[in-house]
Structures are given as C-alpha cells and as structure tokens.
Amino acid sequence: MKTYTAKTGEKFTDADVERWADEAESGFKGYSFKRVDPRTFELEDQRMRAHSVRIEDSLWASITARAKAENMKTSELVRRALANYLVAS
C-alpha cells in the first residue's frame, strides 16, 4: 500500500483515500455543513469591485503559476503583491 504526505505533513494511504471516497459518495453521513457567504472576506467599509488591468500574457502566466503553487486565487495573489509593493515604496 502506498503512503502519501499532505501539505500539512500528515501521512495517508490508499485506504484513507478509499474511505474518503466512500464517505463522499454516501453524502458524509453524520456531518453537517453550513453554507458560507462568499463575500465574508470583505470588510463592510471596504467592498471589493472588479477593476480592469492590462497585463502581458507572460506576466499573467507567472501570476497564475505562482497562485497555483501558493494554493490561492489569482486575485488574492495580485492584491497581496500590490499591497506589498505599496508598503515597500
């Protein structure tokens, strides 16, 4: 049986994956889920709006690759990068 390591360092096996798949297919019996408002990250006084920015394809490819590596959305990565740039300047 193969052993895997999660990003958190926790070890798991094929048997764990099978168990998780069975739980998912059975509807996660015994668990309850609450729907989360997708805009909970926004502060009341700082609503986010979409803004257009022209970015070269090569730069966008770097942004999306980094966001994927950091396991975050591209918009979050861009916001952080802009904030860090403004703080540093």
**22-37: pLDDT as tens digits:** 888 888 777 777 665 5
Q: Which pair of structure tokens corresponds to residue 58?
A: 């090569």
pLDDT score of 68: 93
Residue 57: pLDDT over 70: yes
Nearest-5° angle of CA 58, CA 63, CA 74? 135
Domain count, the chain: 1
* Predicted local distance difference test score (pLDDT) of residue 35: 65
CB 16 within 8 A of CB 3: no
- In the chain, % of residues over pLDDT 90: 35
Which domain does 14 fall in, by range? Answer: 3-43+51-88
Among residues 48, 51, 81, the alpha carbon closest in space to that of 63 is found at 81
